Amino acid sequence: MPELKPAYLIHGDDHGAVAERRAGLRALAEGGGGAEVLEGDEATPAGAAAALAAMTLAVGHRVIIVEGAERWRQADVEQHLAPALAQMPPETTLAVFAREEARAKAPAALHDAIKKAGGQIAAQQTVKPWELGGWAREQGARLGLALDAAAAKALVAQVGERQQRLLRELEKLALEGEQAGERGRRVGVEEIEARAAHSAEWRAFGLADALVGGDAATATGTYLRLREQGERLAGLTYLMAGRLRDALAISLRLAEGESVAEVKRGLRMPARAAERLVADVARAEPDRFRAALATIARMELDSRGGAVLVADRGPLAGMSEDTIAQRAIEEICPEGR
């Protein structure tokens, strides 16, 4: 295992990049003996401090991964975790991850404690839309590709503004170049348009439609692919809830006696998509969609740390966003397909 620092703080509003760093560190740790992951009620400054103080029989370098630092309070870090980081046990690494947005940010005391422990802080921030062309050219150069300004602009227009999507497409282009023995090759607008995936691919509506249809396998697979592309759970939640509300409205109209043809005429979507949506809705009762909307509401609350009062929080509050979302998919699609 490569030499690890005593502590890491990986934070920022680029949730896809944060998730990638977490997955990479966990894979590295498991290759060297294993990682301890703190989630839910354990993922607190006090829980992290307790894990550092706990005795272990594990052989090799110990890696402790903690999620959800964007919900931590300054006072809790100062009281519990800062003293523990000041006395880091040997052969131990504490890696803290914070998926930040708006006011939900890792507290300053955590930054200070990580620095004092000799650790490393890495910010994973989204690039502004008007800066993406330059960013894409820089990433391409790092991968051995030469993109001019027009090609970079075409890439952003075709793939979309998610950095993870853009990086995946650049990596594909670089791999193709290496296989053809053309490292350092120039990539123009025509090749971008011919090869890069359109942003419509794996659109989030596919996830929402799978939930309406009760197709757990498709919903789970689409969700994971979207997350790999850098989609945020908050944005996916908005689309899922919107589609399920549409499904409930359609279900109620059908229950009141409206014909399928009448319902389809009132939908603002392509005819084939409308036909598929109404067919999926017709196979279930309105109560299923009411329950699904309640599940989405709980998912959104849990993914933000749960209710204000600890006693009112559900069992999933504090777990990773992906765990919460996949449990919600299972609940909405209990029979699978």
Residue 216 contacts residue 250 (beta carbons within 8 Å): no
- Residue 190 sits in the same domain as residue 218: no
**CATH number of the domain to which 158 belongs:** 1.10.8.60
- Residue 151 sits in the same domain as residue 174: yes
pTM: 0.53
- Residue 191 sits in the same domain as residue 275: no
Query: Rounded to whole angstroms, how far apart are CA atoms 70 and 264?
Result: 44
337 occurs within a structural domain? no
106 occurs within a structural domain? yes
2 occurs within a structural domain? no
Q: Which two tokens stand for residue 18?
A: 């944060």
SS3 track for 276-315: HHHHHHHCCCHHHHHHHHHHHHHHHHHHCCCCCCHHHCCC
Token look-up 């602009």 returns 153
Query: Rounded to whole angstroms, how far apart are CA atoms 266 and 249?
Result: 11
Cα radius of gyration rounded to whole Å, the chain: 23
Q: Which two tokens stand for residue 79?
A: 């009281």
- Residue 180 sits in the same domain as residue 280: no
Domain that holds residue 181: 129-195
Q: State whether the Cα torsion 302-227-98-136 is positive or negative.
A: negative
Count of domains forming the chain: 3
Alpha helices in the chain (DSSP H): 15-31, 45-53, 74-76, 82-85, 108-116, 132-142, 149-159, 163-179, 189-195, 204-213, 216-228, 233-255, 260-265, 271-282, 286-303, 321-332
Query: What is the DSSP annotation of 191-244?
Result: HHHHHSPPTTTT-HHHHHHHHHHT-HHHHHHHHHHHHHTT--HHHHHHHHHHHH
What pLDDT score was predicted for residue 9?
96
Query: Rounded to whole angstroms, how far apart are CA atoms 177 and 256?
Result: 59
How do residues 96-148 score in pLDDT, each as one tens digit?
999 998 788 999 999 999 999 999 999 988 888 889 999 999 999 988 899 99
- Residue 45 sits in the same domain as residue 110: yes
**Would you write out the chain's pLDDT as a tens digit for each of its 337 residues?**
568 899 999 999 888 788 888 888 888 887 766 789 998 888 999 999 999 998 776 667 889 999 999 999 999 999 999 999 999 988 899 999 999 987 889 999 999 999 999 999 999 888 888 899 999 999 999 888 999 999 999 888 877 777 877 888 888 888 887 777 766 678 888 888 776 555 444 567 788 999 999 999 999 998 988 887 777 888 889 889 999 999 999 999 999 998 988 888 878 776 777 888 999 999 999 999 999 999 999 999 888 887 666 666 777 777 888 999 999 999 999 765 5
288 occurs within a structural domain? yes
- Residue 118 sits in the same domain as residue 140: no
- Residue 188 sits in the same domain as residue 210: no
**CATH number of the domain to which 296 belongs:** 1.20.272.10
* CB atoms inside a 10 Å sphere around CB 197: 15
Q: Name the residue among 177, 176, 180, 228 with its Cα closest to residue 201.
A: 228
What pLDDT score was predicted for residue 200?
44
- Residue 220 sits in the same domain as residue 185: no
